[in-house]
Amino acid sequence: MISRLEIQETNSMIEKMNLDVRTITLGISLLDCIDSDLNRLNEKIYEKITRLAGNLVATGEEIAKEYGIPVVNKRISVTPIGLIGASACKCEDDFVSIAKTLDKAGKAVGINFIGGYSALVSKGMTRSEELLLRSIPKALAETDVVCSSVNVGSTRTGINMDAVRLMGQVIRQTAEKTASLDSIGCAKLVVFCNAPDDNPFMAGAFHGVTEADAVINVGVSGPGVVKKALEQARGKDFEFLCETIKKTAFKITRVGQLVAKRASEMLNVPFGIVDLSLAPTPAIGDSVAEILQEIGLEHPGAPGTTAALALLNDQVKKGGIMASSYVGGLSGAFIPVSEDQGMIDAVLAGCLTLEKLEAMTCVCSVGLDMIAIPGDTSAETLSGIIADEMAIGMINQKTTAVRLIPVIGKTVGDRAEFGGLLGYAPIMPVNGFGCADFINRKGRIPAPVHSFKN
């Protein structure tokens, strides 16, 4: 029999510590929609998404009622459009028409975001994939709920530097096209190395080609719960600290597993994975930075941050893996800047720099995320930052990502406002020394050796 204390513990996690199910993401394969006629392709995509996802939002809300836990986002991911549009799209605008179809279908079913305006080009780009990449600025400027991601490298293939160079330009153009809204288009665009096929989190979600026709992936979150639990670990040794994180991660993930199974049952769609990530929001007490502070740092960015984050990330995985039958996606601690009040404070205090964030990405689950930088940052510099981050992922056999926002018309000392879950961000300085000759080389960085590890 469940005890009063256990009930109180669960409910205070939900009420006071922001425990929530961050997203139920329905992955939909569009492979069977492929058609050489663009209009027919768009019709089939719209029909399939609205048919499969028609009940997604209502289901999410019903589950929230049943268990008394908020289900914050309901989202869709689709097969990378670079593949789906390959035979029908002859120009950039053809791809943009698919983005608009995704936007329309997403709005029709009431979801928050639809991901998969994507291309997987880790070794080379087809002509149509290059068209998709070049269409991203317009696609993101002319849609509201569409998210885009591009995988430009992997441990197995190396890094496609032609794609890295192009993505520097694409990010700049996306920023310029959405300049009036603090370049918010870039918040919906991620560049990946080793992108997972089953990630439920935006903006990087897409439905990989290795996946079934439709699948339910769930992302749970609860940095506030971990932070609160760690208050009991003040002054205690590392064993106690790690055990506390593990136990808490276990409890949080169990809720994700329950919700994923229930959603799968209600929608009659197979359960894919639970993503264990600690995803912060701008809300007070929903911060990964505050966990790092509770571990013992004055601010994230102080010496010791990388070690503390490595410990946190690993314990979250250890606790979560046993709690769910299938774990996948990104699974770890997210360290976005604009979405985490503690990270923003660390930047404002002068403690956290882009370079330290880069070091932190070596041991956490994603990468340079939601970082606002000066609007006059050149495309080559953006590509240089992307290349560095991709190299970390390639060599360390992990997913890394870059979601940078060059905020047009703003510079260090200013502030970019994105609103809602995306939050706000102080503009961070970028190393201004040149890397153009490096970035302008053609071709790719070869795949790394998989032995002789040091």
Binding residues for another protein, rule: CB under 8 A, are 1-2, 4, 6-7, 9-11, 61-62, 65-69, 251, 254-255, 257-258
| Least separation in angstroms between CB 281 and another protein | 21
| Least separation in angstroms between CB 321 and another protein | 13
CB 359 within 8 A of CB 396: no
- Residue 204, token pair as written in the block: 């990087």
| Least separation in angstroms between CB 205 and another protein | 25
| Least separation in angstroms between CB 58 and another protein | 10
**Cα-Cα-Cα-Cα dihedral of 97, 100, 102, 107, to 10°?**
-160
| Least separation in angstroms between CB 234 and another protein | 24
| Least separation in angstroms between CB 56 and another protein | 16
Nearer to another protein among residue 61 and residue 388 (C-beta): 61
| Least separation in angstroms between CB 86 and another protein | 43
- CA dist 119 and 177 (Å) reads 21
Nearer to another protein among residue 42 and residue 59 (C-beta): 59
- CA dist 267 and 50 (Å) reads 13
Nearer to another protein among residue 11 and residue 36 (C-beta): 11
The CA angle 138-167-301, to the nearest 5 degrees, is 115
Nearer to another protein among residue 10 and residue 169 (C-beta): 10
DSSP state of 448: P
Nearer to another protein among residue 85 and residue 256 (C-beta): 256
Residue spans of beta strands (DSSP E) within 197-329: 214-221, 271-275
- CA dist 30 and 317 (Å) reads 31
| Least separation in angstroms between CB 4 and another protein | 5
| Least separation in angstroms between CB 252 and another protein | 8
CB 280 within 8 A of CB 336: yes
Nearer to another protein among residue 177 and residue 262 (C-beta): 262
- CA dist 361 and 368 (Å) reads 7
- CA dist 301 and 133 (Å) reads 34
Determine which helix (DSSP H) or strand (DSSP E) holds 6, and give its type and residue range.
helix 4-16
The CA angle 353-357-361, to the nearest 5 degrees, is 170
Q: How far from the centroid of its chain's Cα atoms is residue 366's Cα?
A: 7
Nearer to another protein among residue 9 and residue 298 (C-beta): 9
Name, in order, each residue with C-beta under 8 angstroms of 437's C-beta and a sequence gap of 6 or more. Answer: none
For the chain, the C-alpha Rg in angstroms (whole number) is 21
| Least separation in angstroms between CB 314 and another protein | 21
Nearer to another protein among residue 11 and residue 126 (C-beta): 11
Nearer to another protein among residue 57 and residue 447 (C-beta): 57
Name, in order, each residue with C-beta under 8 angstroms of 260's C-beta and a sequence gap of 6 or more. Answer: 24, 216, 217, 218, 271, 272, 273, 274, 324
- CA dist 217 and 40 (Å) reads 29
- Phi, psi for 436 (deg, rounded to 5): -60, -40
Nearer to another protein among residue 174 and residue 253 (C-beta): 253
Helices 238-267, 223-230: inter-axial angle, 10-degree rounding: 150
Nearer to another protein among residue 320 and residue 384 (C-beta): 320
The CA angle 340-354-370, to the nearest 5 degrees, is 40
| Least separation in angstroms between CB 367 and another protein | 31
Name, in order, each residue with C-beta under 8 angstroms of 442's C-beta and a sequence gap of 6 or more. Answer: 161, 162
